[in-house]
Homo-oligomer: A and B are copies of this chain.
Amino acid sequence: MTDETSRILFAPSSKEATGAEGTTILEAAREAGVYIDAPCSGKGLCGGCRVRVMEGEAEAPSEQESGLLRPGDGELGYRLACMARIRGDMTVFVPQESVLGQGEKPFTGRSGVIDPVVRGYRIDLAEGDGDQARVERVARLMAQQYDIRDLITDVTVLKDLGRTGGDLEGRVTVLVRTGKEIIGVLPGWDARYLGLALDIGTTTIAAYVGDLRDGQLIATGSATNPQVLFGSDIMSRISYSSRHPDGARRMQTALIASIDALVRRMAESRGFDAHEIVDATVVGNTVMHHIFLGIPPDRLGLWPFMPTLRQSLDVLARDLGIGLGRASYLHILPLEAGFVGADNVGVLLSDEPHRRAEISLIMDLGTNGEIVLGNRERLLCCSCATGPALEGAHISSGMRAIEGAIEKVRIDAATFEVDYAVVGKEGWARDHGAGLEPAGLCGSGIIDAVAHLYTTGLIGEDGAFSQDRRTARLRKGEAGMMEFVVAWRAETRTGRDIVLTQKDIREVQLAKAALYAGCRVLMDRLKVASISRMVIAGAFGMHIDKASALTLGLFPPCDPAAIAMVGNAAGHGAYLALMDKEKRKEADRVAPFVTHVELAREEAFQREFMNGLSIPFKRS
């Protein structure tokens, strides 16, 4: 590795990066805002970040990299971006297939009112006399037929209407936003127009595309937030922004490039065009919200930890450089307070605890965990840094809950043999033989594994590996750290053992202790002794085994039948706000209704956190 700097040209985007020799193609790409999806976050597990070196050469592939490449890849110049190290100038082609990880399950659709902000109206431009400016004719027909008046027209629509002899001379569908602005004129009376709901998580971006005419979900997708390269949690993103004058802009650029790539890929695979998207809603925690808008999140790192903006906001997609319909707006949902952002507002829109008499405890599990407790009289919220462990990041064999991820684990108490289930495959490994070919562990698999390690006595209450259980799966790993082998290399897609290390278990303990302490503080504050309704949200929440989670103490004690796993409720809330404009108003009302509890200011938090580290946690 030298201090030399090389120039890397990425195709087909034509973006250019500079990278020090010895750094990886993935690092250079992310610096330059070129999005390459790396499902395992660039840990060399999954082989998902295949790129093709067209000109120049990278350093020779390691054995690990060679093992993950497909037969014949070498001759064609294919490399794995996370492992191929730069040695001189290169041109690198990013195949579309690497752009997007898929396999995320959509939220369970709940029927809702379909009353979007953008609606289509059918008029016939061939009607009437020609003695009028075209825009005036559109206005007159809209007034005559629909009693919609005083419409303004986006400048991009004027260009379309100026053309002659095209497909806008007769029957057209006029897209009107909020009853006030014409944002599109589409040929024909059956024109389709779509909406996009975005949930921007610290680690994962989820996107949902639906038909605004009937509310039907037509595509769903997810990608790793490319900002992980700038820091794995929100504090490190704030720090990056504070230390670099254009840090926020760089993170924004990377984020928007990845959203664009995600939408494009969804469009290709589901047969729509990104320009058909004419409205969008966005949720995300406060830091993601700020970075998405290009607002430096620096203030959130300084006392009194205030966001710059809390209210909802409408922004033209083109002002952020997102390639949707030319006059499409994005509706950014409001924030609650501190780090509890629009994503939690999405959760509230989805679950509606503010309409219930019963007290609900809602935990949205992600890199940042948000907890809400209360009912229609009062709602408390707090945010706790769980770290990315529950999303499979910062775990040695961790990955997102996409195809190939181990999502369920059970360990035989007598033999310590392991069985597992994998996302995208039916049934358990034992029934398949070697056919499941897992690539790594996602959050629910990690929770299962740790819970079973505990119930089988392989780890103790303090999370430390037992010294007296004998099995070949329990061993000293490379750095002398104890680890447990979940799947042997012969079974895996990567040709490497899938393990859970002592450090991984420690990450899970820290995450669960933070969640536990947050719940306790809110329960004490609201004087609630026990939970009769619990809602677990989070994209990976759908996969979690309740018994394992309760064993681990991830949730406060609760009747398993009273626990609902609702999946990505934040994304679902964004989708509801996309399809029903009343939901946007509800969001604006509920966001300031929630009382934010700043855990850092609570004396009790530290004590509860210490209590929560043990498995199962001790009651204070």
By a beta-carbon cutoff of 8 Å, the part of chain A in contact with chain B is 130-136, 152-153, 155-156, 158-159, 161-164, 242, 248, 290, 293-299, 302-304, 306-311, 313-315, 318-320, 335
Bound Cα distance from A302 to B130, whole angstroms: 11
Specify which of A152, A159, A293, A311 lies most central, judged by the most chain B CB atoms within 10 Å of its CB: A159
Q: Which residues of B contact A153 (CB under 8 A)?
A: 309, 313
Complex: chain B residue closest to A315, CB-CB: B155
Q: Which residues of B contact A311 (CB under 8 A)?
A: 133, 135-136
* Apart from the given pairs A134-B299, A164-B298, 17 other A-B contacts in the complex at a CB distance below 8 Å: A130-B303, A136-B309, A152-B314, A155-B293, A155-B315, A156-B319, A158-B309, A159-B248, A159-B293, A159-B294, A159-B295, A161-B295, A161-B309, A162-B297, A162-B298, A162-B308, A163-B298
Q: Which residues of B contact A309 (CB under 8 A)?
A: 133-136, 153, 158, 161
Q: Which of B290, B307, B318 contacts A319 (CB 8 A)?
A: B318
What are 20 A-B pairs at a CB distance below 8 A? A131-B304, A132-B306, A133-B307, A133-B308, A134-B306, A134-B308, A134-B309, A135-B310, A135-B311, A152-B314, A155-B315, A155-B319, A155-B320, A156-B319, A158-B293, A159-B248, A159-B294, A162-B297, A162-B298, A163-B298
Q: Which of B132, B248, B304, B313 contacts A155 (CB 8 A)?
A: B313
Shortest Cβ gap from A535 to chain B (Å): 28
Complex: chain B residue closest to A137, CB-CB: B306
The 3 closest A-B pairs by CB, nearest first: A162-B295, A162-B296, A162-B308
- Asked if A304 and B130 sit within 8 Å, CB to CB, the answer is yes
Specify which of A136, A248, A290 lies most central, judged by the most chain B CB atoms within 10 Å of its CB: A136
Q: Which residues of B contact A315 (CB under 8 A)?
A: 155
Q: Which residues of B contact A313 (CB under 8 A)?
A: 152-153, 155, 158
Shortest Cβ gap from A313 to chain B (Å): 7
Looking at chain A's contact residues, the main secondary structure is: mixed
Complex: chain B residue closest to A131, CB-CB: B304
- Asked if B163 and A296 sit within 8 Å, CB to CB, the answer is yes
Q: Which residues of B contact A156 (CB under 8 A)?
A: 319
Shortest Cβ gap from A476 to chain B (Å): 47
Shortest Cβ gap from A585 to chain B (Å): 14
- Asked if B299 and A164 sit within 8 Å, CB to CB, the answer is yes
Shortest Cβ gap from A512 to chain B (Å): 31
- Asked if B304 and A161 sit within 8 Å, CB to CB, the answer is no
- Asked if B248 and A162 sit within 8 Å, CB to CB, the answer is yes
Given contacts A155-B315, A155-B320, A315-B155, are A164 and B296 in contact (CB under 8 A)?
yes
- Asked if B155 and A294 sit within 8 Å, CB to CB, the answer is yes
Q: Which residues of B contact A248 (CB under 8 A)?
A: 159, 162
Shortest Cβ gap from A160 to chain B (Å): 9
- Asked if B319 and A161 sit within 8 Å, CB to CB, the answer is no
